[in-house]
Amino acid sequence: MKKNNSRIILTILIVMVFTAVILVSVYAHPVPYPPSPTCSPLKTPTPGPIPSNWKDTGAGGTSGTFTSSGGLDSHNGRTAAGNDDQDPSVRIYNGEGWVEHPVYFQPTALEWSNVEEHVLYASDNINNMVLFTPDPGLNIGAWLPIGHPGSGLGEFINPNGIFSHQSGDFYVVDTGNNRVQYFDGMTWNILATPQDAIYMVDICIHNDVIYITDYIGNCIWYRGLADITWLRLADITYLWSPSYLDINNQGEIFVLSRVHSTDGFMKNIVKYSGGIFSSYVTTGSGPAYIGNNASSEEIGINDHDRLFYRDPMTGIIYKELCDINKIPAFNLNGTMFPLLPAQTDVFLNVGSDIDIINIIAYKSCPFSSIGGDGVFPLDFGENLFPVTCTAETGLPREYTVHVTRELSDNALLSDISINSVTIDGFSPDIFTYTDISYSYDHLSRILTAVAQDENATVLGTGTIELNVGENIVIITVIAQNTINIQPYVLNITGEAEEPSSSPTPSPSPTPTPTPTPTPTPTPTPSPSPSLTPSPSPSVSPSPSPTGSVEPSPTPEPSATPESTKTPDPTASASISPTPPPVNPSLQPSTLQPSPTPIDAGLVKYRDWRNILIILALGIGGGALGYVGVAMIRKSIKKKGKRPDKD
């Protein structure tokens, strides 16, 4: 009996521990489930957004429109859409239209990889295949099958929705086998699905919560990845035959469904946010409307929470306009400048040698437009470049790029010229020049200098007057920054005037011919003394007995023949010989003029220094003469006194 009681107690304890473990496992990892909606009676659906927020993307391709469903997904600025008509293709939206890439299968759903760039997955519910391509060019031969027809692992019947998780797992809704398979990179696995699910179509995972649409069950199943219990999201007005769905970054669910209203079952795109269902795109034609036919068309959310959807009535894919107008970063001359969310100004300092700026702006939304980027010249100092990012809705946002170019420190010359001729041996980095000379008659020169930097200041140029001998000329270059200053020194020699080729005439006495033997002339009595001065005898040439006159020194041009002094009345009579003959070539009228002689033409003074010397000598001579006269007078006085002493 005691043993039985012990066994009963032990059994009860084991059951209690097991129950506690189950409870802890359930409540220790809460899942952020969406709030359960209130299932209200039949009501009129809430209207969707206004049509101006939507855009016709243009069909593109050869067929002109998307003739049937074929998948739709957008990621990293690339949107892919499938077309499963007789000429199947996958088309990529480039912001203006669609570029077509033929494929050899019938695309049903498309999904970009969240892990590997350019990898695109596709399902084909006609051929019961799952494929992928790593080729960014989407060449037809680059598609590889990873799922085949059948019911085993990695086999599919009527595969539909697909989803790529950031963990690297890839999920596929295997509708015909009423299950979900996922590929972990190595093998295919079966995901535990709701037992009550009837016809699963699409799958999406957000914040580790799985959402699966049930087309016939009229609901959305959801649970946490780590949970085993599925919950049901349903509404008798908004969820009828839900097919494809997607979820934005805020956790809002968009699902293609029929809405049960007083007008009947109308196809809508339904939005579920904060526990409330509403119609986001209603039945109609054109942007912001969707045709009310039986086709099940896929929808997609791009990276900026904007919706794409295909209208089966028009065969056109419509896109919700993006109102994002932000620039997250600039590239300035190869340097990245990330911006804070509210930042609109960016600053860059460059050296004086940088004369251009290359502005590249990166946009958050691929459908926004940038104005004001490109390559621009730079002035010294601050340069302002406005850049505008305009959202797809037309909303602009202004940015300003501030580029400050330092003032130039260049204080070098590119040329030094005198009278437009570059000086010999000039080089910008040679600052002293000595071998420069000019003749006396070219001492006035025009000096020019050209700075390497047009913003530098050059001083010391223009017309220069050179003296005979050494002349120091300094050219000063002041850089734009006023800090760097460079002098260039020119040592220019002005050469003295060269002497003329013929000797300079100098004063000389009246030339006298060399005497030759002649008969003694008969003396002629001189005239009686008279107070009236007699005229000077005229000089006329007289040939010598030999018929020539011996050359004599050239007389000073301005000199005249010395006149005969006026006879002293007290002088005795004397006999004056006949003046000697003079060579006609030595007449004053034939001589060139010269400066007026000083002191009867005996001395010629050329400059003030000689004049000063002469004045000094004259004064000194006068002083000596005065002293001499004084001494003589004193001596005479002494001699006159001596007889008195005797």
Q: Is the pLDDT of residue 594 over 60?
A: no
Q: Is the pLDDT of residue 108 over 80?
A: yes
Is residue 10 very low, low, confident or very high in pLDDT (cuts 50, 70, 90)?
low
Kindly report which listed range (202-216, 426-440, 539-553) carries the lowest average pLDDT score.
539-553
Q: Is the pLDDT of residue 553 over 70?
A: no
For residue 31, the model assigns a pLDDT of 36
For residue 16, the model assigns a pLDDT of 63
Percentage with pLDDT > 70 across the chain: 66
Percentage with pLDDT > 90 across the chain: 43
Give the integer Cα–Cα distance in Å for 491 and 474: 9
Is residue 127 very low, low, confident or very high in pLDDT (cuts 50, 70, 90)?
very high
- In the chain, the amino acid numbered 12 is I
Averaged pLDDT, 4-26: 54
Q: Is the pLDDT of residue 642 over 60?
A: no
For residue 161, the model assigns a pLDDT of 94
Cα 507–chain centre separation:
81
Q: pLDDT by residue (tens digit) across 309-341?
A: 888 788 888 888 888 999 999 999 999 999 999
Q: Is the pLDDT of residue 347 over 80?
A: yes
For residue 312, the model assigns a pLDDT of 78
For residue 288, the model assigns a pLDDT of 84
Which of these, 328, 370, 335, lies nearest to 349 by C-alpha position? Answer: 335
Is residue 170 very low, low, confident or very high in pLDDT (cuts 50, 70, 90)?
very high
Q: pLDDT by residue (tens digit) across 274-297?
A: 999 999 998 888 888 888 876 667
Q: Is the pLDDT of residue 51 over 80?
A: no
CB 391 within 8 A of CB 365: yes
Residue 7: φ, ψ to 5°: -65, -40
Give the integer Cα–Cα distance in Å for 100 and 519: 142
For residue 580, the model assigns a pLDDT of 45
Averaged pLDDT, 442-446: 78
Most confident of 154-168, 464-478, 629-643: 154-168
Averaged pLDDT, 561-585: 42
What sign for the dihedral angle of Cα 108, 112, 117, 118? positive
Other Cβ atoms less than 10 A from the Cβ of 431: the count is: 14
Is residue 29 very low, low, confident or very high in pLDDT (cuts 50, 70, 90)?
very low
Place of tokens 């010598």: 544
Place of tokens 């009278």: 419
Interior angle at CA 201, CA 198 and CA 202, nearest 5: 130
Strand partners, 92: 80, 99
For residue 498, the model assigns a pLDDT of 64
CB-based burial of residue 19 (10 Å sphere; 0-12 exposed, 13-18 middle, 19+ buried)?
exposed
Q: Is the pLDDT of residue 480 over 70?
A: yes
CB 279 within 8 A of CB 46: yes
DSSP, residue by residue, 6-49: HHHHHHHHHHHHHHHHHHHHHHSS---PPPPPP-PSS-PPPP--
For residue 562, the model assigns a pLDDT of 42
CB 160 within 8 A of CB 121: no
Torsion angle in degrees (nearest 10) through CA of 199, 204, 210, 213: -20
For residue 390, the model assigns a pLDDT of 96
Is residue 541 very low, low, confident or very high in pLDDT (cuts 50, 70, 90)?
very low
| DSSP 8-class letter at 96 | S
For residue 621, the model assigns a pLDDT of 62
For residue 284, the model assigns a pLDDT of 87
Q: pLDDT by residue (tens digit) across 404-420?
A: 999 988 999 999 999 89
Q: Is the pLDDT of residue 496 over 50?
A: yes
Q: Is the pLDDT of residue 557 over 70?
A: no
Most confident of 523-537, 583-597, 613-627: 613-627
Averaged pLDDT, 236-264: 92
Kindly report which listed range (223-237, 422-436, 531-545) carries the lowest average pLDDT score.
531-545
428 is written with which tokens?
Answer: 């910008």
Kindly report which listed range (7-21, 176-190, 283-297, 500-514) carries the lowest average pLDDT score.
500-514
Averaged pLDDT, 56-67: 61
Give the integer Cα–Cα distance in Å for 541 and 119: 130
What is the three-state SS of 405-463?
A: ECCCCCCCEEEEEECCEECCCCCCCCCEEEEEEECHHHCEEEEEEEECCCCCEEECCEE
459 is written with which tokens?
Answer: 């001083």
Distances in Å between the alpha carbon of 183 and those of 165, 173, 414? 10, 12, 72
Q: Is the pLDDT of residue 529 over 50?
A: no
Is residue 468 very low, low, confident or very high in pLDDT (cuts 50, 70, 90)?
confident
Q: Is the pLDDT of residue 554 over 90?
A: no
CB 55 within 8 A of CB 30: no
Give the integer Cα–Cα distance in Å for 356 and 34: 55
Averaged pLDDT, 556-574: 41
Is residue 629 very low, low, confident or very high in pLDDT (cuts 50, 70, 90)?
low
DSSP, residue by residue, 249-290: TT--EEEEEEEEETTEEEEEEEEEETTEEEEEEEESSSTTEE
For residue 435, the model assigns a pLDDT of 83
What is the three-state SS of 141-178?
A: HHCEEEEEECCCCCEECCEEEEEECCCCCEEEEEHHHC
Give the integer Cα–Cα distance in Å for 133 and 90: 12
Residue 271, helix vs strand vs coil = strand
Distances in Å between the alpha carbon of 531 and those of 526, 569, 571? 14, 6, 11
CB 150 within 8 A of CB 134: no
Average pLDDT, the chain: 77
Q: Name the residue with higher pLDDT: 238 or 22.
A: 238
For residue 622, the model assigns a pLDDT of 64
Is residue 61 very low, low, confident or very high in pLDDT (cuts 50, 70, 90)?
very low
Give the integer Cα–Cα distance in Å for 45 and 277: 9
Kindly report which listed range (210-214, 469-473, 483-487, 597-601) carries the lowest average pLDDT score.
597-601
Residue 103, helix vs strand vs coil = coil
CB 370 within 8 A of CB 398: no
